[in-house]
């Protein structure tokens, strides 16, 4: 039997913790290793090449920690880096390992929530520009109308703990207004950035009656549970001692202070310096 290790969960910063929280609810028995690349976050406005290089470096670090399975719990990294890593890098660096993202599992199900067959996607600039959501949803729901709105101010508001301020109300109202201008019959809004669940209550205040607000945590957790059932060769390489370990590329003190809001429980993180990990 090959060596077992934790399931890796990655985000540019704190957002992936909203996904990890839901994964743990569904699959508590596994060990999880979380990495937030806080020192280089946010990724949302960075170029394809930069997000790809940062993400690949983090994936290589996970592999060095014995993770056979890594979840990119970040839409921006899933949109800009996942396909290249899966197609070009994995076969060379670790053919038996797997890296999964959050866009595909969301795209597979999002159409079922809408009666008007019209959904609005709120995401970072990078995710919107990649066109990943319109492309992926079209594979499963060819008749679904998909409208997108980039909300570049939302992650900075969240990362700077300003998400309960009046400034947040201003940008939420603005971006919601814009998306409903684009698609007047939208009846489902997807929070396609793993940071955005923190704004859920505020967004709900401004949503038209009858519009459903969907975040990804539960969707990704259900999809992961299904994946592990279908892939015993990967599942058997995931250790099961209920351990959770958190790393950040930035200050552990800042991470521990902020992370609780996202994860719902106190966290005691460790620092990692990725400089020694070569990208190419």
Catalytic positions: 74, 193
For position 38 contacting ligand DGL by CB under 6 A, the verdict is no
Between residue 105 and residue 134, which ones bind ligand DGL under the rule CB under 6 A?
124, 127
DSSP tag of 66: T
* Beta carbons of 119 and 147 less than 8 angstroms apart: yes
Q: Give backbone dihedrals phi and psi of 145, rounded to 5 degrees, phi first.
A: -90, 130
Q: How many CA atoms lie within 13 A of 177 on its CB side?
A: 6
Q: Near ligand DGL by CB under 6 A, which window of 9-17, 168-176, 179-187, 262-270?
A: 9-17
Q: Which has the closest alpha carbon to 262: 85, 29, 41, 49?
A: 41
Single out the residue of 42, 101, 111, 120 in contact with ligand DGL (rule: CB under 6 A).
Answer: 42
Single out the residue of 23, 24, 41, 58 in contact with ligand DGL (rule: CB under 6 A).
Answer: 41
Single out the residue of 56, 85, 155, 172 in contact with ligand DGL (rule: CB under 6 A).
Answer: 155
What mask, x for binding ligand DGL by CB under 6 A, covers residues 245 to 264? --------------------
Q: How far is the CB of 58 from ligand DGL (least distance, A)?
A: 12
Helices (H), 13-109: 16-26, 48-64, 75-80, 82-84, 90-93, 103-109
Between residue 200 and residue 229, which ones bind ligand DGL under the rule CB under 6 A?
none
Q: Which two tokens stand for residue 180?
A: 């409903």
Q: For the range 268-276, what are the long-range contacts, defined as Cβ-Cβ under 8 Å and sequence gap of 24 or more?
A: 269/36, 270/245, 270/246, 271/247, 272/35, 272/61, 272/247, 272/248, 273/249, 274/37, 274/57, 274/58, 274/61, 274/249
CB atoms within 10 A of CB 59: 27
Q: How far is the CB of 242 from ligand DGL (least distance, A)?
A: 25
Q: Which two tokens stand for residue 255?
A: 């991470």
Single out the residue of 9, 74, 151, 172 in contact with ligand DGL (rule: CB under 6 A).
Answer: 74
**Bridge partners of 146?**
119
For position 272 contacting ligand DGL by CB under 6 A, the verdict is no
d(CA 144, CA 216): 19
Single out the residue of 68, 76, 215, 269 in contact with ligand DGL (rule: CB under 6 A).
Answer: 76
d(CA 215, CA 151): 15
d(CA 272, CA 1): 29
Q: How far is the CB of 115 from ligand DGL (least distance, A)?
A: 27
Q: How far is the CB of 216 from ligand DGL (least distance, A)?
A: 8
What mask, x for binding ligand DGL by CB under 6 A, covers residues 170 to 199? -----------------------xxx----
Q: How far is the CB of 42 from ligand DGL (least distance, A)?
A: 3
For position 75 contacting ligand DGL by CB under 6 A, the verdict is yes
Single out the residue of 11, 22, 31, 89 in contact with ligand DGL (rule: CB under 6 A).
Answer: 11
Q: How many residues bind ligand DGL (CB under 6 A)?
A: 17
Residues of the shown chain interacting with ligand DGL in the complex, contacts defined by CB under 6 A: 11-13, 15, 41-44, 74-76, 124, 127, 155, 193-195
């Amino acid at each position: 039997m090959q060596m077992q290790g934790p399931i890796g969960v990655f985000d540019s910063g704190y957002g992936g913790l909203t996904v990890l929280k839901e994964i743990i609810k569904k699959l508590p028995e596994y060990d999880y290793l979380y990495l937030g690349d806080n020192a280089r976050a946010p990724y949302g406005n960075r170029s394809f090449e930069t997000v790809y290089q940062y993400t690949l470096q983090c994936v290589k670090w996970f592999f060095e920690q014995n993770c056979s399975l890594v979840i990119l719990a970040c839409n921006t990294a899933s949109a800009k880096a996942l396909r290249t890593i899966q197609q070009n890098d994995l076969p060379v660096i670790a053919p038996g390992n797997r890296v999964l993202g959050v866009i595909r599992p969301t795209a597979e199900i999002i159409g079922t929530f809408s009666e008007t067959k019209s959904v609005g996607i709120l995401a970072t600039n990078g995710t919107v520009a990649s066109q990943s959501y319109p492309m992926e949803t079209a594979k499963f729901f060819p008749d679904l109308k998909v409208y997108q709105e980039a909300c570049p101010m939302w992650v900075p508001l969240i990362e700077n703990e300003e998400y309960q301020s009046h400034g947040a109300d201003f940008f939420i109202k603005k971006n919601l207004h814009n998306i409903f201008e684009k698609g007047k019959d939208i009846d489902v809004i997807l929070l396609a950035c793993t940071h955005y669940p923190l704004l859920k209550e505020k967004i709900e205040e401004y949503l038209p009656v009858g519009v459903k607000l969907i975040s990804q945590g539960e969707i990704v957790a259900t999809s992961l549970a299904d994946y592990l059932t279908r892939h015993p060769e990967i599942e058997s390489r995931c250790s099961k001692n209920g351990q959770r370990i958190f790393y950040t590329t930035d200050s552990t003190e800042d991470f521990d202070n902020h992370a609780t809001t996202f994860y719902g429980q106190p966290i005691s993180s460790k620092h990692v310096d990725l400089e020694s990990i070569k990208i190419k």
